[in-house]
């Protein structure tokens, strides 16, 4: 899942980015409202964490611009504006959730997971496909009941394929949602990580659960 963090406090921004990346998310960031406004339309984000007190353009104005274009991206406001009126304005303005500063990172993660489940119509924190399961809260993968150790990026790829297991996922789509914008479209990184992921799952399951349609993409499938 690909996230954008728009926060002008350098220490907080860097802490959020590091923590979210450790959880397996692809994260872009910025410190300016105008830049956030541009990035929201130039990239395919699954969720935007938006501060309100941004230089260049206020966070509420950024939110207004996003919603005026019928953007379906989830927006989580993260702000020191803690009054009831501020929360009402933010939520009525189109935010999906509102978290006030200071906050516990564990709560932020829980809200992020909740919003992403809502985006994909997912009710449980555990994603499954036949003998394969992934707990989005603990970031652990199990195959036939045994834990499978995966790298952070392999876990992120598997999560995205599980969330979209009913269809083929193009290579370009994986790049958009699992990698941040520092990776170019000609990178071989996706293929390398998928190859490693498939090898580990094949060893654990006794079959390859990832179908590769050359020129079209990848699909997680049930055991044949």
Question: Exposed, middle or buried by CB within 10 Å (0-12, 13-18, 19+), for 138?
Answer: exposed
pLDDT at 121: 47
Strands 26-30, 2-6: pairing is parallel
Please enumerate in sequence order all residues whose Cβ is within 8 A of that of 42, keeping only pairs 6 or more positions apart, or say none.
none
Question: Exposed, middle or buried by CB within 10 Å (0-12, 13-18, 19+), for 130?
Answer: middle
Please enumerate in sequence order all residues whose Cβ is within 8 A of that of 206, keeping only pairs 6 or more positions apart, or say none.
none
pLDDT, tens only, 12-46? 999 999 999 998 898 999 999 999 999 998 888 99
pLDDT at 9: 95
The tokens describing 70, both together, are 């019928």
Rg (CA), the chain: 18
Ranges in the chain, pLDDT < 50: 121-122
pLDDT, tens only, 56-79? 999 999 999 998 886 678 999 999
Check: pTM over 0.75? Answer yes or no: no
pLDDT at 177: 81
Residue 128's CB is within 10 A of a number of other CB atoms, namely 12
pLDDT at 175: 82
């Amino acid at each position: 899942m690909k996230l954008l963090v728009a926060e002008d406090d350098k220490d907080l921004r860097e802490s959020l980015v590091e923590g979210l990346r450790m959880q397996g998310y692809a994260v872009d960031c910025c410190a300016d409202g105008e830049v956030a406004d541009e990035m929201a339309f130039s990239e395919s984000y699954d969720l935007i964490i938006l501060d309100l007190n941004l230089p260049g353009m206020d966070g509420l104005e950024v939110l207004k611009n996003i919603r005026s274009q019928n953007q379906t991206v989830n927006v989580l406001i993260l702000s020191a504006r803690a009054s009831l009126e501020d929360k009402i304005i933010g939520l009525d303005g189109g935010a999906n959730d509102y978290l006030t500063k200071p906050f516990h990172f564990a709560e932020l993660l829980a809200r992020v997971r909740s919003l992403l489940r809502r985006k994909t119509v997912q009710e449980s924190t555990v994603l499954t496909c036949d003998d394969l399961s992934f707990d989005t809260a603990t970031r652990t993968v199990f195959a036939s009941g045994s834990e499978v150790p995966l790298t952070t990026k392999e876990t992120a790829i598997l999560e995205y394929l599980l969330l979209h297991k009913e269809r083929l996922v193009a290579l370009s789509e994986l790049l958009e949602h699992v990698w941040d914008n520092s990776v170019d479209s000609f990178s071989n990184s996706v293929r390398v990580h998928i190859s490693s992921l498939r090898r580990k799952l094949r060893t654990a399951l006794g079959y390859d659960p990832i179908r590769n349609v050359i020129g079209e993409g990848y699909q997680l499938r049930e055991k044949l």
